[in-house]
A and B are shown apart, each in its own frame.
Chain A
C-alpha cells in the first residue's frame, strides 16, 4: 500500500517545481514531476516577424538567456542559409561560454552546495566546515563567489552589452565589434576568473584538473595536491556515497557546442555505453501526460504545436515529454563530456553510472576545459575583419538551432510562412531531464532517478532528494517556457 505525497515548492531550481511521490515501506515507489508554470512563448511567437524572436526568446530564461539567443540566431541563420564571419563565431562562442561557465559556478555555489549545510547532517565530520563555507547567503563561499562572478560577467558588458537579455547575438554574427584595447580587457577578466578558479574552486591549475582521467586519479588528486571547493565536495560525496545516488537511464545526448573551424569543440552525439551518432530527426515530443491538446502521435518539434488545456484528464505537468527514438535521454555537462570523450566522464559513468557526484564533477570539469578554449578564441579574433553579415530571410523558410546551455541540449525549430512565424517550437534541457511520462508510461529521467530513495509520508523530505533533483541543474523556466 503506497501513500501519495505532494512535495513543493522546490527552490534553487530556477523556476517552479513540484514532485508527487508514491511512497511504500519508507521508499519512493514512483515519482511524478510537475512543472506548474505555463507562459506560452510558443503561442506568443506565432505571427511575429521572425527577427523579433531574437528579442523575445532570451526572455524565456534569465539564466540560459544567451543560449536561447544562440538557438534562435542559429535557427534564423539556418532558415536564411547564412554563416557568420569568423569574428562573429568567436564572439558568440565567448558569449555563450561566459554564460555557461557562470551558470556552472552559480549552480555549484548557490543552488547545490547549501543543501549539505542542512542541520540534518550535523554530526558528519565535514558538516561544521560546510556550514561555514556553504550555508546559503551567509557562507564564506557565497560572497567570495559573487564577487568573482560579477567580475567574470564583465565579459558580457564588452561582448554583449549586458546580461541577461542581449541582442548582440545575431544570425549573421555579432553587433559588437571589438577593438584591441577591449580585447585586452577581456583577456584580463578571463585571467582573473582563471586565478579565482585555480585558487578557490580547485586549489590547482585548470590544466591539472582537465588532465584527470579516472575516478582513481580524481581521488589521488584530491588527497594530494588538489582540493579547494571541489575537494570539499568530493569528501562529502565519498562520505555520503553520492557516487551511487540518483542514476537515471544512463543514456545521454548532446547537440554539441562552441563552433570551431572544423566542427564543434564538444561534438554532438549520443552515449549509451559507447559513443553513437545523433539523429535529430528521431526527436519527438509526447504530450500524453502534459496539459496540451492531443495532436495524435508524438511529433517532431518542426511539426509540433502548443495548445494548452488546463483541465486535461491524466495529465500532470506543463512539461512535454521529449524522446529520442522513443527513448528517455539525459542531457547536461556529464552528457557533453561523455560524448566529447573525456576519460574522467567515461570512467565515472562506466564504473558507477550517471550519479549525483558524476554530474557535479562533470560541471566543474567543464570550467577547467572551457577557460583555455576561451583564451584561445580571444587570441583568434582578428581586428579589422567583419563581425556581422546581413541576414535576409525568405518569405517561406524553416530552420533549426541546436546549442548546449549549461544544463544541456536546447533546440529551436522555426517555420516561416508569408514572412511571419508560423510555428516556433522549443525543447529545453530540463524538458528532457524533468519530463513527465510518455504514452508508453515511460518515466522521465528525474522520475527514474528518484525511485528507491528513502522518504516517508509525513517527516521532512530527506536531503538526498534535494541532491538528486538539483544534481541535474534544472532550469524550470526553460522547461515549459
Chain B
C-alpha cells in the first residue's frame, strides 16, 4: 500500500506521537503490514528536488497512490490564496497540492484534529482561515467539500486527536492495507469507531471520585476534574483511559482535564480550558446520553453519600485515608 504523507498548518506532533508506537518498532511494523512510505516529511531520505518529483508523480498519477495522509490544518488564507502555506520549491500552495492529490488517492486520511476539523490553528480569530479536509469545525465542507469521496467511495477518514494516539494511526492504516475498513467502521464525524465509540471516561482512574462527585479544586488534587477543572472525559470520544499513552499515561492520569481534543471545535470551548463552566452550580457539559434532571438528582444523592475517605482524598495530592481493610467473610 503506497502512502504519501504531507504536512500543512500543524505542529508535526501527530508524526512525533506516531513515532512513539509501542507494539514494535514503527518502521518494521509498517513493513510487516505492507505499508510503503512513498514520502514522509520527517523520515524520508528524498529531499528538495527528489521529493518534489515524487510528490508531483503522485499528483499526475505516475505513482498509483493508495493513501494520502494529511497532517495539519489546510490554510485557505489570505483571501483564498493559500499563501500562508506555499509548499517549498514551487509556486503552489499546499492547499492546491492537496486538492490535486486527493483526487488520485484511493483513500484520504486526516491525521489529527487539525486536518480533520481545523483544530488549534483555527482557534481565536483563525488568522489563516484554517479548516479541515472535509470539515470546517462542526460544519461539513472544509477544503475538499462535503461531497468528496475517495476512489473507493469513502469520505475522508478522520483520525482525530491532538495528537492522535500512535495506535489509532497504525491500526487504521493496517485496516486499510488489509481492506478491512468500510463506511460502517467510521462514526458520524468520519472517525474510526474502534477508538471513537469509547469515551475518555471509560477506564478513568478517578472513577470513584466521579461517582461521589468528590471533586479536585486545584491542580495536583486526586479528585474528579469534571466539576471544577474543565474535564470533558464523559463527553469525549476516545479510548485514552483504556489504551493508555506512553506506557501508562493519559490526560487524566497526568492530573489534568480532558479537553475533548478528538472533537470538532475543541480549540474554542467557549470557556477557559481548565475551568468548568456552570449555571447555578451545575456544569454545562453533562455526561453523554444523560438527561440533566437525572444528573442533578444523582449528583445531589451521591454527594450526600460521599465517604469521608473519598472526600478527603479528592482534595489532596496523596492518600490521606486508605480504604479500610475488612476482616472475616463480609
- Interface residues of chain A, those whose CB is within 8 Å of chain B, are 6-12, 14-18, 34, 36-40, 43-49, 51-52, 54-56, 59-63, 65, 106, 110-111, 114-115, 117-118, 135-138, 142-144, 146-147, 149-150, 153-168, 170, 172-177, 179, 185, 189, 308, 310, 383-384, 386-388, 390, 460-461, 466, 477
Contact = CB atoms under 8 A, between A and B. Distances in A.
Interface stretch (B77-85, B151-159, B191-199): B77-85
Contact of B47 (A12, A55, A163): A12
Contacts of B257: 167
Contacts, number: 284
Interface string B11-43: 111111101111011111001000001011111
A156 B251 CA distance: 11
Given A15-B7, A63-B13, A388-B220, A162 B273 contact: no
* Interface-central residue, A14, A143, A155, A165, by most chain B CB under 10 Å: A165
Interface string B41-58: 111111111111000000
B20 A161 contact: no
Interface stretch (B60-68, B175-183, B241-249): B241-249
Residue with the highest number of chain A CB atoms closer than 10 Å, among B19, B126, B259: B19
Interface of B: 7-17, 19-22, 24-28, 31, 37, 39-52, 73, 75, 78, 81, 83-90, 119-121, 123-128, 130, 162-163, 218-220, 222, 244-257, 259, 261, 267, 272-274, 317-318
Across the A-B interface, give the 9 residue pairs with the lowest CB-CB distance, nearest first.
A161-B254, A62-B13, A8-B88, A157-B249, A40-B127, A175-B255, A154-B247, A18-B88, A157-B246
A14 B88 CA distance: 13
Given A11-B46, A44-B125, A477-B12, A161 B78 contact: no
Interface centre among B12, B20, B28, B47 (most CB of A within 10 A): B47
A156 B166 CA distance: 14
Contacts of A166: 251, 254, 256
A44 B13 contact: no
A387 B220 contact: yes
Contacts of B246: 153-157, 162-163
Nearest to B123: A44
A132 to B, nearest CB: 14
Contact of B220 (A11, A49, A138, A177): A177
Given A46-B124, A173-B220, A308-B78, A162 B318 contact: no
A162 B251 contact: yes
A336 to B, nearest CB: 22
Given A142-B25, A157-B249, 6 more contacts: A65-B11, A150-B19, A150-B25, A172-B219, A310-B84, A461-B49
